[in-house]
């Protein structure tokens, strides 16, 4: 095992992006926790990609209300997970819902990261009044209990896909900024940064080429955890009725719509709850695996 | 010394093998280690990093962590085999019979527990005495380790006292239960040179006063010479040579020991007369040790079949006193010449016009004081005088050293020079152009490229995310005016040749390089733009001696070749003595003395220079030193003394004038200046600090001079 | 130290003022739309509406209205709820009390449990207990509160039929109805606090001063109690204080799911019904609680850490 890693590392010295990717994967192989996480995520990605072919029914079609799991429809197909109160196939809705969550969550995380990293770099590297202003703003945003903040933002700007991305960016970029700022404060005192400064490199080049690549380890781990958290947020917003407007499937929304019938038809709420929990678990396991590898290096 | 041999030994390690078990398998850290220690004896273990010297100390303490263990052999302490002891039996020995003193005093003390608690718990746990009694004893031992104001120290938290005081507290903690064995693991490495001298003296006094046996672990042969009776030299997990200080230091038998001595600049040598002779290659990794002699691949006397056959055992050196033993198959045949050959070195570089002129340079930092007192008094802004009135010049091709301890302002000066900070007042002229107020981003490309820097920490100097090739290429494309990829690449390859690294390193990432190799890349990067002046900030202080010697030599060679002016920042006077033409001595932001290397090393001295010289550990038993130990701590730069910055610790303090008035700068002759109230005549009367015996004296005697 | 506390308190006040301003601008100007229409009904005449607006001060300049609102808030006059047709203060009081009970039991169970597990597994890093805890905490932090509510309800309500599925407490306070909400909150928070404690403890255990303490020959108990815990509990203290901020989010979901009549459910209800005065008051209370605990956490941290306390 160890020798295998050794050879991959040497291969990396003639480094192409492909080899580097291969190396990360080889390293991940050494953490079973990370492997399980990656497998779960991969499974859901496949489900999302193949939803139109895998899903037995139209996700929004009202076919047969309150069908228990395993019921065979008039057309001969089986409702493997049953149908909801409006007669929509739960399995198909979960499959199509994967698309929603795997579209909005990474996109929102990406946008939040872009904003957070830029803010963090500016605050950490430039310091001075920029740091003061940005830090104060983020303190204020972070002083809100996070769900209260979401409720207020969504309440003001309304519930829609783009608004969810805006809200998530607004609420989570201060946290990202703090992490980046902390990393930058540490990294900017390194001698290689001083070397770049004494060469007269521009601030942007120092921030993006000299500092940022060295912060990527902790940031990747954090991004995985945060992605999990963004999925929770989207789910919770859906559950509270502040998510994507119906009728398109959304896991949190599915729980919300059917929770009053849960005593009689627990399967309606159980299936989407399992789906969302497993996906988040996947990201958290992956983050843990990556962190374990990072510590070991 | 020989009478001790009749007593029973305190500690006996026999054929000790220690291994660590990792995911990669078993790593033998120490092989075949034997040591016998008698009461009152001090034994030194010396070696470079990774040789296993600290592992030995931890094994004696039976504290190896979860993945370490003693594979074979025994450790017998006062007749009991420690390898078979239970945790409880060990606990009763640790701290009461065997105490340890560590490398980093601050990390070794609990930050959130008062020093008194950390001290009194030792005798309370071992002797069951009352807290009151323990308190009295702790106070007494704090006095014994010469801590001023022991009551205050008792009630303080560790962060409230200085590094030197912290180490004294740790030593006191070790002595509290009057142990019979003290393990000292690099106890002075983290301290400033003048503070180190005080601790070394204290340690030597302790063994006299308490009769404690000591094992002193260090990488510094000079310190071992000053503290120990016998010495063990370790290399790659095994002892390669042992003997009494006299015998081993005057006639080292193992090629590695000999090589180590050739790597250390001695006060007898300078760069032109006798260049250092570095050991080639690097320490083998534990699982890649060669057959036979572990030192074989690096040894000049290596002979196939003799040296790479069976594992070589320690053998006594016949005709040598005090149990001198060596692990070398050819020690009888090799004739080591301890006296350094003279006159084979290089010609001194002819110095040219002034490249750098520093004129009344001042750099103040503003700090906001946020304490309630400052708020009420309205004095919220205070100035830290990091550099106060610096004056000196450097010529083309010259090496000028700036010497001083932490907080002396040498790094601040480097920052101003490089344009990372701008000056408060005064001028720096580089090639005749005033640059002290121009930040680096406002300097012309030519100005920037002609002034480059080599950094201290090898693990920090290169960006871990980029390949070596791309990092040097960047410098060339920025300064060399070349844009063509092929030409830049060719230039980088040339530079790799110059710093004697394989061209294949172009594709490597920094983490695949050793510390010395990284430092070579750092040098290549600094010289890539053909600078007229290079600032080297302690470039070898983090490296092992054998590697440091090679890097120092490389730096000298390139400088000589390119006729670059070198500004060498260091705290180590022996390195400075070796390579520099001129020396600037700084203390608390001020220059106390400057002059040529000879002038600095002979009277008249500034009293601070005198103390610094006395603090140099010298690994040559024939060289004698006058002992000057400074009292007190380095004052904080936040709150410097009013008059002479050195007045609080000066052994030649002459009265109130020192405390209240800034001393005048007195010209001794030509370019030698001393900033002191004492008259030059008086300072000239002072005896020299370091006495190097003449050639005649040297050959005549074998007697110890210490 | 004194300046530090003064500074933190000043910062806290500053944050609250800014937050109140933001809340006011967001909610009282935009979201409200036409408040008069909602209060007086769809068919009120334009005159009636403008009269109502004038009476309630809506025509005053923005700043005047803000100061009016803030001064009312400070004096305990939180305005009138549109939905309940009652003073907000009267509605908010009992709801806050209910949430305080929920939060108290959550913390009373979660903190000792997570500290204990965190310390034990931090002491023996890599042990079976440590790995088990690490898996448990990853799993529990992966399940959103609404999903764990569903799972627990499926087991204890639909399956075993041991517990009631709602916690409305229609017939007065009922212990049994508290069980599920507390359980959900404890499970979600436990993993995080335990992990933080574990990390802090594990780091301290590898510190050199612990080695010093062991090699001084101190009994293991003394090493842990005197030297390790004191340093290891500094970080979890802050984490625990900040958990109060998290709890304010958690209660919204849990109270909504179990129909518990608490502060979180009230806030959500206010938002869904555009009940501006109520939402403003709820959000303000949430922020005040969050900022106060954060300030306490900061001050406590500096107090626990002598390196800061005496510098």
**What value does the mean pLDDT take over residues B230-236?**
93
**What value does the mean pLDDT take over residues B226-230?**
90
Give the list of residues 6+ apart from residue A196 with CB closer than 8 angstroms, or none: A205, A206, A210
Residue A75 inside a domain? The answer is: no
What is the three-class DSSP state of B22? strand
Q: What is the pLDDT of residue B383?
A: 81
CA distance B245 to B618: 13
pLDDT digit string (tens) for B291-344?
888 998 888 888 888 888 888 888 888 777 668 899 988 888 877 664 444 445
pTM for this model (two decimals): 0.86
Instruction: Please state which of the ranges B559-573, B679-693, C46-60 shows the lowest mean pLDDT.
Output: C46-60
- pLDDT at residue B496 above 90? yes
Across the A:B interface, residue pairs with CB atoms under 8 Å apart total: 66
Q: Which two tokens stand for residue B28?
A: 């033998």
Across the A:C interface, residue pairs with CB atoms under 8 Å apart total: 130
Residue A191 inside a domain? The answer is: yes
Give the start-to-end residue ranges of the domains of chain C: 93-310
Query: For chain A, what is the largest distance between any 2 Cα atoms, rounded to a whole number of angstroms?
Result: 77
**What value does the mean pLDDT take over residues C143-167?**
86
In sequence order, the β-bridge partners of residue B234 are B239
Residue B627 DSSP code: -
CA distance B356 to B533: 8
Q: What is the pLDDT of residue B108?
A: 93
| Residues from A in contact with B at Cβ < 8 Å | 1-2, 9, 12-15, 190-192, 194-195, 197-202, 209-210, 213-214, 216
CA distance A126 to A138: 17
Supply φ then ψ for residue A200, to 5 degrees.
75, 30
| Residues from B in contact with C at Cβ < 8 Å | 61, 63, 66, 87, 91-96, 99-100, 102, 104, 107-113, 117, 121-122, 125-126, 157, 159-160, 170, 173, 370-372, 375
Q: Would you say C268 and C256 are in contact if contact means Cβ atoms under 8 Å apart?
A: yes
Q: Would you say A115 and A168 are in contact if contact means Cβ atoms under 8 Å apart?
A: no
Short-list C145, C171, C162, CA closest to C258:
C145
Inter-chain residue contact C150 with A262, CB threshold 8 Å: yes
Q: Would you say B617 and B220 are in contact if contact means Cβ atoms under 8 Å apart?
A: yes
Q: B475 CB near a chain A CB, below 8 Å?
A: yes
Q: What is the pLDDT of residue B583?
A: 94
pLDDT band at B378 (very low <50, low <70, confident <90, very high): low
Short-list C66, C79, C83, CA closest to C22:
C66
- Domain with residue A155: its CATH number is 1.10.3720.10
Domain that holds residue A248: 2-57+80-296
Short-list B562, B460, B50, CA closest to B287:
B50
Measured between CA atoms, the residue of chain A closest to residue B448 is: A199
Residue A63 inside a domain? The answer is: no
pLDDT digit string (tens) for C231-265?
998 889 888 988 888 899 999 999 999 989 899 99
- pLDDT at residue B136 above 50? yes
Per the omega criterion (within 30 degrees of 0), is the bond before B604 cis?
A: yes
Could you count the other beta carbons within 10 Å of the beta carbon of residue C90? 11
With beta carbons under 8 A apart, name residues in chain C contacting B110.
209, 212-213, 227, 230-231
| More confidently predicted of B101 and C53 | B101
Residue A86 inside a domain? The answer is: yes
Q: What is the pLDDT of residue C300?
A: 86
| More confidently predicted of B178 and C34 | B178
Q: What angle do CA A45, A50, A53 make, to 5 degrees?
A: 160
pLDDT band at A143 (very low <50, low <70, confident <90, very high): confident
Q: What is the pLDDT of residue A10?
A: 35
Q: What is the pLDDT of residue B358?
A: 92
pLDDT above 90 as % of chain B: 37
Instruction: Please state which of the ranges A15-24, A31-40, B462-471 shows the lowest mean pLDDT.
Output: A15-24
Could you count the other beta carbons within 10 Å of the beta carbon of residue A13? 16
Mean pLDDT of all residues in chain B?
A: 86
Q: Which two tokens stand for residue B94?
A: 């640790």
Q: Map tokens 């450790």 to a residue.
A: B75
Inter-chain residue contact C218 with B91, CB threshold 8 Å: yes
CA distance B701 to B698: 6
Who among A145, A239, A263 is closest to C286 (CB)?
Answer: A145
Residue A159 inside a domain? The answer is: yes
Could you count the other beta carbons within 10 Å of the beta carbon of residue C120? 17
The DSSP string of chain C is -HHHHHHHHHHHHHHHHHHHHHHHHIIIIIITS-HHHHHH-TT--HHHHHHHHHHTTTTS-HHHHHHHHHHHHHHT---EETTTTEEHHHHHHHHHHHHHHHHHHHHHHHHHHHHHHHHHHHHTTTSHHHHHHHHHHHHHHHS-HHHHHHHHIIIIIIIS--S-S----TTS--HHHHHHHHHHHHHHHHHHHHHHHHHHHHHHHTSHHHHHHHHTT--HHHIIIIIIHHHHTHHHHHHHHHHHHHHHHHHHHHHHHHT--SHHHHHHHHHHTT-HHHHHHHHHHHHHHHHHHHHHHHHHHHHH-HHHHT-
Inter-chain residue contact C211 with B160, CB threshold 8 Å: no
Residue A265 inside a domain? The answer is: yes
State the number of CA atoms in the 13 A half-sphere of A95 facing the CB. Answer: 21
**What value does the mean pLDDT take over residues B455-476?**
91
Helix (H) or strand (E) holding B579: helix B573-579
The DSSP string of B51-95 is SSHHHHHHHHTT---TTEEEEEEEEEETTEEGGG--HHHHHHHBT
CA distance B387 to B395: 22
With beta carbons under 8 A apart, name residues in chain B contacting C7.
370
CA distance C299 to C301: 5
Residue of B430, B452, B465 to mutate, testing the A interface (most A Cβ within 10 Å of its Cβ): B465
- pLDDT at residue A1 above 50? no
Q: What is the pLDDT of residue A179?
A: 93
Residue B289 DSSP code: P
Inter-chain residue contact A2 with B461, CB threshold 8 Å: no
pLDDT digit string (tens) for C125-148?
888 888 888 889 899 989 999 999
Hey, which CATH number is domain C93-310, 1.10.3720.10, 2.60.40.10, 1.10.240.10, 3.50.50.60? 1.10.3720.10
Inter-chain residue contact B463 with A197, CB threshold 8 Å: no
- pLDDT at residue A8 above 80? no
Q: Which two tokens stand for residue C116?
A: 């204990």
Q: What is the pLDDT of residue B1?
A: 41
Who among C271, C274, C290 is closest to A144 (CB)?
Answer: C290
**What value does the mean pLDDT take over residues B39-43?**
91
Taking the CA of residue B531 and the nearest CA in chain A, the distance in Å comes to 12
Q: C285 CB near a chain A CB, below 8 Å?
A: no
Query: What's the CA dihedral at A157, A158, A160, A166 to 10 degrees?
Result: 30
Q: Exposed/middle/buried for B409, CB within 10 Å: 0-12, 13-18, 19+?
A: buried
For strand B451-454 and strand B533-537, is the pairing parallel, antiparallel, or unpaired? parallel
Q: Would you say B409 and B588 are in contact if contact means Cβ atoms under 8 Å apart?
A: yes
What is the three-class DSSP state of B273? coil
SS (H, E, C) chain A: CHHHHHHHHHHHCCCCHHHHHHHHHHHHCCCHHHHHHHHHHHHHHHHHHHHHHHCCCCCCCCCCCCCCCCEECCCCCEECCCECCCCCEHHHHHHHHHHHHHHHHHHHHHHHHHHHHHHHHHHHHHCHHHHHHHHHHHHHHHCCCHHHHHHHHHHHHCCCHHHHHHHHHHHHHHHHHHHHHHHHHHHCCCHHHHHHHHCCCCHHHHHHHHHHHHHHHHHHHHHHHHHHHHHHHHHHHHHCCCCCCCCCCCHHHHHHHHHHHCCCCCHHHHHHHHHHHHHHHHHHHHHHHHHHHHHHC
Residue B475 DSSP code: H
Residue of A1, A29, A193, A194 to mutate, testing the B interface (most B Cβ within 10 Å of its Cβ): A194
**What value does the mean pLDDT take over residues B73-100?**
91
Residue B387 DSSP code: E
Per the omega criterion (within 30 degrees of 0), is the bond before B130 cis?
A: no
Mean pLDDT of all residues in chain A?
A: 84
pLDDT band at A23 (very low <50, low <70, confident <90, very high): low
Residue A25 inside a domain? The answer is: yes
Taking the CA of residue C293 and the nearest CA in chain B, the distance in Å comes to 24
Q: C176 CB near a chain A CB, below 8 Å?
A: no
**What value does the mean pLDDT take over residues B530-540?**
91
Q: What is the pLDDT of residue B595?
A: 93
Who among A236, A266, A285 is closest to C253 (CB)?
Answer: A236
Q: Work out how many domains chain A is built from and give that number.
A: 1
Helices A251-258 and A267-296: angle between axes, nearest 10 degrees: 150
């Amino acid at each position: 095992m160890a020798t295998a890693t050794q050879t991959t590392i040497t291969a990396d010295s003639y480094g192409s992006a492909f080899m580097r990717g291969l190396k990360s994967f080889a390293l991940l192989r050494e953490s079973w926790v990370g492997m399980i996480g990656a497998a779960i995520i991969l499974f859901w990605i496949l489900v999302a990609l193949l939803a139109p072919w895998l899903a037995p029914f139209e996700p929004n079609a009202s076919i047969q209300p309150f069908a228990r799991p395993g019921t065979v429809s008039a057309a001969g197909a089986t409702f493997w997970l049953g149908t909801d109160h409006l007669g929509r196939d739960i399995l198909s809705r979960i499959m199509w819902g994967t698309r929603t969550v795997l579209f909005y969550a990474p996109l929102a995380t990406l946008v939040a990261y872009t904003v957070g990293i830029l803010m963090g770099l500016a605050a950490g590297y430039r310091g001075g009044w920029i740091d003061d202003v940005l830090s104060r703003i983020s303190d204020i945003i972070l002083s809100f209990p996070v769900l209260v903040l979401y409720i207020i933002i969504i309440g003001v700007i309304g519930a829609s896909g783009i608004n969810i991305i805006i809200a998530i960016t607004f609420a989570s970029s201060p946290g990202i900024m703090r992490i980046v700022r902390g990393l930058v404060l540490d990294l900017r005192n390194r001698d290689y940064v001083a070397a770049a400064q004494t060469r007269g490199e521009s601030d942007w080049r120092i921030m993006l080429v000299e500092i940022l690549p060295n912060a990527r380890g902790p940031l990747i781990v954090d991004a995985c955890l945060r992605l999990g958290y963004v999925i929770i947020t989207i789910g919770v917003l859906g559950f509270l009725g502040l998510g994507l407007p119906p009728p398109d499937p959304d896991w949190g929304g599915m729980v919300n719509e059917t929770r009053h019938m849960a005593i009689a038809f627990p399967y309606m709420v159980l299936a989407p709850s399992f789906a969302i929990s497993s996906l988040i678990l996947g990201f958290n396991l992956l983050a843990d695996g990556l962190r374990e590898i990072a510590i070991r290096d | 010394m020989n009478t001790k041999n009749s007593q029973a030994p305190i500690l006996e390690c026999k054929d000790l093998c220690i291994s660590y078990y990792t995911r990669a398998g078993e790593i033998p850290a120490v092989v075949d280690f034997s040591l016998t220690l008698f009461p009152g004896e001090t034994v030194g273990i010396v070696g470079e990093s990774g040789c296993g010297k600290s592992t030995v100390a931890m094994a004696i303490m039976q504290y190896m962590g979860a993945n370490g263990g003693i594979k074979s052999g025994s450790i017998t302490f006062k007749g009991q085999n420690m390898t078979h002891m239970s945790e409880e039996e060990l606990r009763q020995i640790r701290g009461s019979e065997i105490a340890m003193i560590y490398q980093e005093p601050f990390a070794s003390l609990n930050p959130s527990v008062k020093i008194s608690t950390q001290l009194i718990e030792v005798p309370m746990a071992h002797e069951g005495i009352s807290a009151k009694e323990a308190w009295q004893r702790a106070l007494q031992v704090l006095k014994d380790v010469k801590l001023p104001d022991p009551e205050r120290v008792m009630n303080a938290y560790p962060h409230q006292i200085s590094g030197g005081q912290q180490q004294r507290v740790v030593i006191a903690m070790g002595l509290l239960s009057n142990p019979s064995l003290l393990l000292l693991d690099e106890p002075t490495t983290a301290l400033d040179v003048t503070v180190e001298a005080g601790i070394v003296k204290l340690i030597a006094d302790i063994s006299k006063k308490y009769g404690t046996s000591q094992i002193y672990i260090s990488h510094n042969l000079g310190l071992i010479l000053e503290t120990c009776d016998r010495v063990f030299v370790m290399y790659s997990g095994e002892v390669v040579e042992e003997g009494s200080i006299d015998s081993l230091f005057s006639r080292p038998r193992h090629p590695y020991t000999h090589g180590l001595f050739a790597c250390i600049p001695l006060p007898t040598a300078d760069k032109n007369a006798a260049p250092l002779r570095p050991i080639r290659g690097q320490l083998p990794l534990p699982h890649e040790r060669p057959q036979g002699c572990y030192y074989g691949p690096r040894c000049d006397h290596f002979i196939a079949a003799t040296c790479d056959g069976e594992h070589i055992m320690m053998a006594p050196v016949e005709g040598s006193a005090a149990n001198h033993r060596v692990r070398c198959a050819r020690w009888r045949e090799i004739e080591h010449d301890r006296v350094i050959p003279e006159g084979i070195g290089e010609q001194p570089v002819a110095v040219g016009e002034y490249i750098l002129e520093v004129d009344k340079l001042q750099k103040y930092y503003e700090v906001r004081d946020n304490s309630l007192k400052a708020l009420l008094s309205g004095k919220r802004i205070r100035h830290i005088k990091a550099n106060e009135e610096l004056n000196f010049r450097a010529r083309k091709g010259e090496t000028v050293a700036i010497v001083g301890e932490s907080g002396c302002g040498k790094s601040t000066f480097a920052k101003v020079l490089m344009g990372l900070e701008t000056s408060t007042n005064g001028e720096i002229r580089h090639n005749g152009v005033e640059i002290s107020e121009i930040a680096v981003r406002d300097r012309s490309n030519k100005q920037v490229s002609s002034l480059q820097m080599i950094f201290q920490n090898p693990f920090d100097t290169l960006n871990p995310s980029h390949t070596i090739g791309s990092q040097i290429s960047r410098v060339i494309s920025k300064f060399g005016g070349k844009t063509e990829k092929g030409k830049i690449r060719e230039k980088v390859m040339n530079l790799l040749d110059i710093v004697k690294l394989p061209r294949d390193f172009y594709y490597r990432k920094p983490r695949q390089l050793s510390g010395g190799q990284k430092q070579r890349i750092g040098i290549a990067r600094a010289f890539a733009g053909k600078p007229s002046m290079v600032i080297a900030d302690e470039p070898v202080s983090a490296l092992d001696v054998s590697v440091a010697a090679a890097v120092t030599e490389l730096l000298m060679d390139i400088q000589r070749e390119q006729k670059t002016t070198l500004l060498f920042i260091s705290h180590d006077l022996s390195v400075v003595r070796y390579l520099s033409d001129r020396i600037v001595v700084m203390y608390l932001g001020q220059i106390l003395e400057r002059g040529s290397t000879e002038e600095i090393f002979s009277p008249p001295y500034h009293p601070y220079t005198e103390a610094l010289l006395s603090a140099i550990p010298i690994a040559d038993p024939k060289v004698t030193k006058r002992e000057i130990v400074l009292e007190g701590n380095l004052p904080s730069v936040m709150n410097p003394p009013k008059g002479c910055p050195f007045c609080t610790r000066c052994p030649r303090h002459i009265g109130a004038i020192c405390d209240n008035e800034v001393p005048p700068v007195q010209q001794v002759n030509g370019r030698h200046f001393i900033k002191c109230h004492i008259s030059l005549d008086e300072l000239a009367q002072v005896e020299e600090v370091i006495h190097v015996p003449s050639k005649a004296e040297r050959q005549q005697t074998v007697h110890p001079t210490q | 130290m004194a300046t530090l506390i003064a500074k933190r308190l000043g910062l806290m006040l500053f944050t609250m003022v800014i937050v109140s301003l933001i809340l006011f601008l967001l909610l009282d100007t935009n979201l409200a739309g036409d408040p008069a229409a909602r209060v007086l009904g769809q068919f009120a005449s334009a005159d009636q509406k403008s009269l109502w607006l004038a009476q309630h001060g809506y025509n005053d300049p923005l700043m005047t209205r803000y100061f009016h609102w803030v001064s009312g808030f400070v004096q305990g006059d939180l305005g009138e709820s549109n939905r309940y047709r009652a003073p907000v203060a009267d509605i908010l009081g009992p709801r806050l009390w209910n949430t305080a009970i929920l939060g108290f039991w959550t913390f009373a169970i979660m903190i000792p449990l997570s500290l204990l597990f965190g310390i034990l597994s931090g002491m023996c890093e890599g042990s079976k207990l440590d790995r088990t805890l690490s898996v448990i905490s990853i799993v529990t932090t992966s399940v959103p509160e609404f999903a764990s509510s569903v799972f627990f309800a499926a087991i204890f309500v639909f399956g075993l039929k041991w517990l009631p599925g709602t916690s409305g407490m229609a017939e007065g306070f009922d212990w049994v109805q508290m069980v599920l909400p507390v359980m959900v909150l404890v499970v979600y928070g436990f993993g995080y606090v335990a992990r933080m404690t574990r990390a802090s403890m594990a780091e301290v255990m590898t510190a050199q001063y612990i080695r010093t303490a062991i090699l001084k020959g101190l009994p293991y108990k003394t090493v842990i109690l005197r030297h390790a815990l004191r340093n290891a509990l500094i970080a979890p203290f802050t984490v625990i204080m900040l958990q109060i901020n998290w709890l304010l989010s958690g209660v919204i979901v849990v109270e909504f799911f179990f129909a518990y009549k608490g502060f979180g459910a009230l806030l959500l209800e206010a938002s869904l019904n555009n009940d501006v005065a109520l939402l403003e008051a709820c959000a303000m209370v949430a922020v005040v609680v969050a900022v106060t605990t954060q300030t306490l956490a900061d001050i406590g941290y500096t107090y626990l850490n002598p390196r800061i306390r005496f510098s």
